[in-house]
Amino acid sequence: MRAEHDSIPEIALAWHREGLGAAIATVVETWGSAPRQPGSQLAISGDGQIMGSVSGGCVEGAVVDEALEALKDGRNRLLTFGVSDDTAFAVGLACGGTIRVLVEPVGVGQGMTEALLADLVAARASRAPRACRIDLDTWARDLVAPGQDPGIDARFRADRSGREEGGPFICIHNPPLRMIVVGAVHIAQALMPMARACGYDATLIDPREAFASPARFPGERLVHDWPDEAMAALGLDARTAVVTLTHDAKLDDPAIEAALASDVFYLGCLGSTRTHAKRLERLAAKGFSEAQIARIHAPVGLDIGAKSPAEIAVSVMAQITLRLRQG
């Protein structure tokens, strides 16, 4: 499930099909201390509704005006705002950076076609990564899947939209990040909302309903199946992090084995050094290789001297972020 601010293609397509008209604004380049990174998007409807952001509020007003004009004349816009630009000062970009924003009307003139946008939305719904490639000179566009272009594959792995010097702009659309937490313990009570704040679609798995209860985890997605069964139903992929917190072999081991058999980008397991040593013996006895076992982060979390459940959750979230962003 995507948050609204991360559902720009879906929202734009819905507005277009409702007859409101829609345009998409995308940050394509930045210099200096720019407020948003390339790939950040803003959807604008024909009646002036907006969702998302290209500058954290600095230039949105000017972008909306240009988007409404684009819907009328069917022409794309490449807009540049920076501290040396009087217009930028007028709209409030005083952060010291420069941004270039592409504005595309949907289904009009030079803009993105409804068919291409619909294909992108369908791929996103099925958790299939896609890159939208656009030539900023000819406005030619296509969707690229992983494996079709080695240069773009690196961008998928780094979650990095942008363009090479003089090349097309590549907008990366990766599936939402997910976190699967096994064990409805006190650390999970701090980790689940922290994961959501960091943009993860988080699920808590624990067959013990007294532990994984709405009273203890209000508003969280709770699954009361056995971990390996629940994870098979959810599906595991390279945009998923798995954290096991029970240090009970009956619950943790099935989840760990399922994660090791997948391409999840992070697997962290709570437990002392002694507990982990016994865990490694069990995994080796089941035939897991040294390379597979080496993927486990244990004891879980960065060593920051954490003591309380909330501090441990911070250390776990930091380690997941480090793994995601720096490999």
- At 229-248, the pLDDT tens digits run 999 999 999 899 999 999 89
pTM: 0.75
Nearest to 321 by CA among 299, 301, 293: 301
Across the chain, the runs of DSSP E, i.e. the strands, are 22-31, 41-45, 50-52, 77-82, 98-105, 130-134, 141-144, 162-163, 169-173, 178-182, 201-205, 221-223, 240-244, 266-269, 296-297
Instruction: State the pLDDT at residue 195.
Output: 96
Q: Sheet holding 98-105: strands in order across?
A: 50-52, 41-45, 22-31, 98-105, 77-82
CA distances to 176, 254, 291 from 247, rounded to whole Å, are 28, 12, 22
Percent share of the chain, pLDDT over 90: 80
Element containing residue 117 per DSSP (H, E): helix 114-125
Instruction: State the pLDDT at residue 125.
Output: 92
pLDDT of residue 93 exceeding 80: no
pLDDT tens column, 115-153 = 999 999 999 999 899 999 999 999 999 999 999 999 899
Percent share of the chain, pLDDT over 70: 93
Residue 83 banded pLDDT, cuts 50, 70, 90: low
Q: How far apart are CA 241 and CA 177, in angstroms?
A: 8
Instruction: State the pLDDT at residue 225.
Output: 96
**Pairing between strand 130-134 and 141-144?**
antiparallel
- Average the pLDDT over 33-38 and give the result: 78
CB atoms within 10 A of CB 214: 10
CA distances to 26, 77, 173, 272, 314 from 101, rounded to whole Å, are 5, 8, 17, 50, 35
Query: Half-sphere exposure of residue 41, counting CA atoms within 13 Å on the CB side?
Result: 23
Instruction: State the pLDDT at residue 59.
Output: 86
pLDDT tens column, 157-175 = 888 999 988 899 999 999 9
Q: How far apart are CA 149 and CA 53, in angstroms?
A: 29
pLDDT of residue 89 exceeding 70: no
- At how many degrees (to 10) do helices 249-260 and 227-234 cross? 30
Instruction: State the pLDDT at residue 95.
Output: 54
Residue 15 banded pLDDT, cuts 50, 70, 90: very high
Quickly count helices (H) and strands (E) in the chain.
Answer: 11, 15
Instruction: State the pLDDT at residue 96.
Output: 58
Instruction: State the pLDDT at residue 166.
Output: 82
Nearest to 102 by CA among 111, 90, 93: 111
Give the lowest-confidence range in 11-20, 30-39, 205-214, 217-226. 30-39
Nearest to 321 by CA among 191, 141, 151: 191
Instruction: Please give the angle made by the CA atoms of 325, 132 and 92, to the nearest 5 degrees.
Output: 70
Q: How far apart are CA 169 and CA 232, in angstroms?
A: 36
Instruction: State the pLDDT at residue 304.
Output: 95
Do 120 and 132 touch, CB atoms closer than 8 A? yes
DSSP reduced 3-state for 100: strand
Residue 90 banded pLDDT, cuts 50, 70, 90: low
- Average the pLDDT over 43-51 and give the result: 95
Mean per-residue pLDDT over the chain, rounded:
91
Comma-separated ranges of CATH 3.40.50.720 domains in the chain: 178-326
pLDDT of residue 86 exceeding 60: no
Residue 4 banded pLDDT, cuts 50, 70, 90: low
CB atoms within 10 A of CB 72: 12
| Better-scored residue on pLDDT, 57 or 105 | 105
Instruction: State the pLDDT at residue 172.
Output: 96
Q: What does CATH list as the number for 178-326?
A: 3.40.50.720
- Average the pLDDT over 79-91 and give the result: 62
